[in-house]
Structure 1
Amino acid sequence: MIGLESLADPSGNWDIVETIGKGTYGKVYRVTNRKDGSQAAVKVLDPISDVDEEIEAEYNILRSLSNHPNVVKFYGMFYKADDISGGQLWLVLELCNGGSVTDLIKGLLACGRHLEEPVISYILYGALLGLQHLHSNRIIHRDVKGNNILLTTEGGVKLVDFGVSAQLTSARLRRNTSVGTPFWMAPEVIACEQQYDYSYDTRCDVWSLGITAIELADGDPPLSEMHPVKALFKIPRNPPPTLRHPENWCRAFSHFIAQCLIKDFERRPSVTHLLEHPFIKQAYGKDMALRHQLAALIKEQQKLSCQAKSKHERINTRKTLKSESCPDDDLVNLEVLSEEVIISHLQRRYGELQIYTYVGDILIALNPFQTLNIYSPQHHLATPRMSADC
């Protein structure tokens, strides 16, 4: 474990200039180096009394693997002691002034535009190269999405946010912890919550990248209109998602997405194989031109100030998930989803003669042992197999 007492105080090196975002653990600021005037981004985690395993995992990955053009650079971790409010942990990173891919696409859609296919290909190419670097070092990112792909003002593409990334060892080449951001989570990752003998490997990042590709085209991931926990029920059961209007895009783009979103991860290609996909290879040899095109697009959007920020929270389903209040007839959004809580809610609803209750897309029906006036004769004729006391 990292000892906080061994970390330097950031006050002597960095000055906070402004807030530029909010991460999973705390705010993100733009900072200036007192010595040379260079700028960086700092993720401030506060208050903190100890370094937990997710922070340590991110620190170790950044320290050893940020030497890649498609992974955000790491400048160090610092600790600012404060006996009154609690100490602050500072992760100082490369400043990506271009914002996230999500910011860019939201801004374009707000102005009635969308990303062109060659630029999408270039962004996905950069993300694939970053993932290839991680995977070759046995790291699963586990939270690939538009908000975690940052852009520099020069058109660079950088992977960021390794707080839930996982290290694969030679003795354990798969993981079985259900963690990530629901709309981007692969079916096999979700399955680990229901069946502990399930596992997954680095190809769960490929699924997430396929969802991100849809996000780049449509502006949102599939099922984004749902509560995120309900989406967790839908993803394993639904067919693989597709573009909202595939006829507006080339066949190669749709095929790339289809390859990423093969539900059986044993058949899903690796990032190395996807780097050879025709949709991605159109960026080969044109990466500098596409980089300049993306940089111009970022600059244009920043001037127009059309960006509409969007944030989707990631979850670790092995920890308690706290959700907003939800419709009473769907228990999937309960703060605690346990057998005792479900039975309590069903008993209360049964007493009110509310015999149907959803848990995601699962319908629970309780026999009321009496006739309920909830179906008309026409309804019975239309659905002859259903009865009021089923």
Structure 2
Amino acid sequence: MKRKKNPNMVNYLDSYLVGKQFWLVMEYMDGGSLRDAISKTHLSEDEMAAVSRECLQGLDFLHINHVIHQNVKSNNILFRTDGSVKLADFGLFAQLSPEKSRQSSVATNSGWMAPEVVTGQPYGPKADIWSVGIVGIEMVEGEVPYWNETPVRPQHLTATGGRPKLQQPNLFSPELQDFLHCCLQVDEARRWSAKELLQHPFVASAKQTSCLLPLIASRLVKIREAEI
């Protein structure tokens, strides 16, 4: 964590052994999580694009350094009130090497798991990209696909070649729909990489929307203050 610092990853500060417990001191993200934003506010397509861009920048950095995040989901995407968007949950990172370019252990949540992970196949960094696509559907529809069904249902559909789709695609731009299509390719070889997705028209349009990100965090802070 000390070696792999990036503006789109929650910053590691220090660590201590307290009794028999290992404590990590991390950067404080005062704006809440993307899950909070999804459940308590409405995100515009511009905001979705900006959040996706920041996450992909973090994942591109990890993947270049041969690291798989393994647990990309809305609860692990955090905001600061200055507009920063960062990936959290370092506990499940998988470090790859030239001798080991694929991971086989399963250490993630079923609703976000890529087909190759569900079926127990060795997987690479593009497993994170499937999770980005699921987060995209979360931002659009407010929940993970099939979330209200039995826990086995999403895994079964994914394992048998099912690809989650928007319930009302015509309500959203062709660019957003195509972005999700590129993320949610069942065939890992056809799934876009983080670097490729950063050039996708949907994400590229977010280059001029950085001013939107502090607004998401500020809305969440106001909601928390009102609840208190």
When normalised by structure 2's length, the TM-score is 0.94
Tell me how far apart the structure 2 counterparts of residues 134 and 209 of structure 1 sit (CA, whole Å).
14
In structure 2, runs of 5+ residues without a counterpart are none
2:18 is aligned with 1:80: yes
The Cα offsets for residues 320-351 of structure 1, whole Å up to 9 and x where unpaired, read as: xxxxxxxxxxxxxxxxxxxxxxxxxxxxxxxx
2:92 is aligned with 1:164: yes
CA contact (8 A) 1:174 1:201 kept: yes
| Equivalent residue, structure 2, for 1:227 | 150
Tell me how far apart the structure 2 counterparts of residues 136 and 128 of structure 1 sit (CA, whole Å).
12
1:160 shift after superposition: 0.7
In structure 1, runs of 5+ residues without a counterpart are 1-61, 82-86, 109-113, 193-197, 309-390
Which one has a bigger Cα radius of gyration?
A: 1
Compared CA separation, residues 281 and 165, structure 1 to 2 (3 A): same
Identical amino acids, percent of aligned pairs: 34
Tell me how far apart the structure 1 counterparts of residues 214 and 76 of structure 2 sit (CA, whole Å).
18
| Equivalent residue, structure 1, for 2:220 | 301
1:225 shift after superposition: 0.8
1:188 pairs with 109, 116, 130, which one?
116
Tell me how far apart the structure 2 counterparts of residues 120 and 307 of structure 1 sit (CA, whole Å).
25
1:307 shift after superposition: 9.9
1:238 shift after superposition: 5.0
Q: Give 1 or 2: higher helix fraction.
A: 2
Tell me how far apart the structure 2 counterparts of residues 189 and 146 of structure 1 sit (CA, whole Å).
19
Alignment of 1:20-31 (within 5 A): none
2:3 is aligned with 1:64: yes
Q: Give 1 or 2: higher strand fraction.
A: 1
| Equivalent residue, structure 1, for 2:43 | 115
2:80 pairs with 152, 175, 185, which one?
152
1:134 shift after superposition: 0.3
CA contact (8 A) 2:182 2:191 kept: yes
| Equivalent residue, structure 2, for 1:252 | 175
Tell me how far apart the structure 2 counterparts of residues 301 and 180 of structure 1 sit (CA, whole Å).
26
1:140 shift after superposition: 0.4
CA contact (8 A) 1:240 1:258 kept: no
**RMSD after superposition:** 1.7
CA contact (8 A) 2:145 2:154 kept: no
CA contact (8 A) 1:174 1:199 kept: yes
Tell me how far apart the structure 2 counterparts of residues 160 and 96 of structure 1 sit (CA, whole Å).
10
| Equivalent residue, structure 2, for 1:125 | 53
SS of the residue 1:282 aligns to: helix
SS of the residue 1:276 aligns to: coil
The Cα offsets for residues 139-195 of structure 1, whole Å up to 9 and x where unpaired, read as: 000110111111111111101102111111101111122221100000000111xxx
| Equivalent residue, structure 2, for 1:134 | 62
1:302 shift after superposition: 2.4
1:120 shift after superposition: 0.6
Tell me how far apart the structure 1 counterparts of residues 123 and 212 of structure 2 sit (CA, whole Å).
37
| Equivalent residue, structure 2, for 1:13 | none
2:38 is aligned with 1:105: yes
| Equivalent residue, structure 2, for 1:208 | 131
Compared CA separation, residues 97 and 138, structure 1 to 2 (3 A): same
- Letter paired with 1:270: S
SS of the residue 2:2 aligns to: helix
SS of the residue 1:89 aligns to: strand
- Letter paired with 1:300: R
Compared CA separation, residues 297 and 202, structure 1 to 2 (3 A): closer
